[in-house]
């Protein structure tokens, strides 16, 4: 009897709630809010997922998916307070920005400097003759007084390291190692000839860097508009002096790498595992770091998109999306000079949408979080569990 009365009482309460306009309105608002949040989650998820898939490509010949994306352009174009951090991740070309871009006032050499140069040249010629008598590989050294000396030695050292790693591969025979070393000697000699022919250009470039540094020291160089424009124009003009030379050396390095690839036999060239190891050897360390960064960025975008589409770990996916968008926005703050602010504001809107998802209860929306939450309850867990 008591149970029947209790059931009747509950039935009357339900009927009273159903007939109450305020309760019905609240339920309607709750359903509308849930539908809006679900639509927001799906739209953001689809955008992240589609952008992630654009960074993938399928190689039919190798039957393999690969990352067809590089963050180098994004890092190189960064402005603002985080620009030094972003640009420090870039693979510099044998650190030419520090070893070649050295401000140096061009002055006539003193008599003492001329004597030191003459002595070095005569000693170098003697060492070359001795090498020829011994039938040893050609002796190639860079003059210590040359304005490109530090950069040239860095290039040669990096190439030797790549040559050693290449010849240390188990598949490379001794005969192939000898041929690869001969190719290195030839390209090493070409490097010395190119830099020696461009010594005047390099001296002019370093002198212009010195003039630019003096110009920047003038009071108000960064505040007065015409002086700021003058500094910017001088910086562009100075970079134009050395960019062709750097491009030429890049081309020479590409030919050196092709020389090493040409040492491989036809069977070795068809071995994709070996090719991957060779390409890893030829890539500079920071280039390999950039490759890992490309993988991490692509994986993060796909994970955020997949999580939002499936409603799985929604809060964690929203947090990952916010962190990614904030890092992108921080690199192009629109109020800073030279920044590209075309995408800043729509990324800000996406951040706001992700914050709304982060603040909502994901287990109340259709998705895997909802199923996991109810499964947890059925297995005897907490009455309501916050699913990430």
pTM given for the model: 0.58
Distance CA 26, CA 204 (A): 76
Distance CA 110, CA 324 (A): 56
Distance CA 125, CA 103 (A): 30
Cα atoms found within 13 Å of the Cα of residue 34, Cβ hemisphere only:
15
Which pLDDT does position 211 carry in this prediction? 81
Which pLDDT does position 308 carry in this prediction? 92
Which residue ranges make up each domain of the chain?
33-91+285-388, 92-283
Render pLDDT for 183-226 as a digit per residue (tens, 0 to 9).
999 999 999 999 888 888 888 888 888 887 777 676 544 454 55
Tokens representing 200 are: 């005047």
Mean pLDDT split into 10-residue runs, the chain, 388 residues: 43 48 69 85 93 84 74 75 74 79 82 82 80 77 86 91 91 92 91 88 84 70 52 63 84 92 90 86 77 88 93 91 90 75 86 90 77 76 48
Task: Report the 10 Å Cβ neighbour count for 38.
Answer: 17
Residue 199 near residue 205 (C-beta atoms within 8 A): no
CA angle 161, 162, 163 (to 5 degrees): 90
DSSP letter for each residue of 139-170: P----TTSTTHHHHHHHHHHHHHHHHHHHTST
CA angle 58, 59, 62 (to 5 degrees): 135
């Amino acid at each position: 009897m008591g149970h029947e009365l209790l059931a009747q009482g509950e039935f009357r309460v339900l009927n009273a709630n159903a007939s109450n306009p305020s309760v019905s309105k609240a339920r309607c608002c709750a359903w509308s809010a849930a539908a809006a949040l679900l639509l927001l989650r799906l739209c953001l998820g689809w955008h992240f997922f589609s952008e992630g898939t654009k960074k993938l490509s399928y190689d039919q010949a190798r039957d393999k998916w690969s990352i067809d994306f590089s963050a180098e352009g994004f890092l190189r174009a960064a402005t603002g307070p985080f620009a030094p951090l972003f640009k420090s991740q870039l693979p510099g070309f044998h650190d030419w920005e520090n070893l070649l871009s050295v401000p140096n006032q061009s002055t006539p050499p003193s008599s003492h400097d001329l004597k030191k140069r003459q002595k070095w040249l005569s000693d170098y010629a003697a060492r070359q003759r001795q090498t020829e008598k011994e039938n040893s590989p050609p002796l190639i050294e860079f003059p210590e007084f040359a304005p490109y000396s530090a950069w040239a030695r860095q290039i040669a050292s990096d190439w030797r390291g790549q040559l050693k790693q290449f010849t240390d591969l188990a598949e490379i025979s001794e005969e192939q190692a000898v041929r690869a070393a001969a190719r290195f000697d030839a390209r090493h000699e070409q490097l010395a000839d190119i830099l020696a022919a461009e010594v005047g250009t390099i001296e002019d470039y370093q002198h212009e860097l010195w003039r630019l540094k003096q110009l920047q020291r003038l009071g108000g160089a960064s505040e007065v508009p015409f002086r700021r424009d003058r500094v910017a124009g001088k910086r562009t003009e100075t970079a134009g002096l050395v960019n062709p030379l750097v491009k030429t050396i890049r081309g020479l390095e590409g030919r050196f790498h092709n020389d090493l690839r040409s040492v491989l036999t036809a069977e070795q060239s068809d071995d994709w595992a070996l090719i991957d190891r060779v390409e890893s050897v030829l890539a500079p360390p920071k280039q390999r770091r950039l490759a890992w960064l490309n993988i991490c960025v692509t994986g993060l975008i796909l994970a955020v998109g997949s999580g939002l589409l499936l409603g799985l770990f929604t809060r964690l996916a929203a947090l990952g999306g916010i962190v990614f968008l904030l890092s992108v926005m921080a690199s192009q703050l629109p109020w800073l000079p030279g920044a590209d602010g075309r995408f800043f504001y729509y990324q800000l809107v996406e951040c706001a949408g992700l914050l709304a998802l982060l603040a909502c209860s994901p287990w109340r929306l259709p998705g895997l979080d909802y199923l996991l939450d109810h499964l947890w309850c059925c297995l005897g867990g907490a009455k309501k569990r916050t699913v990430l």
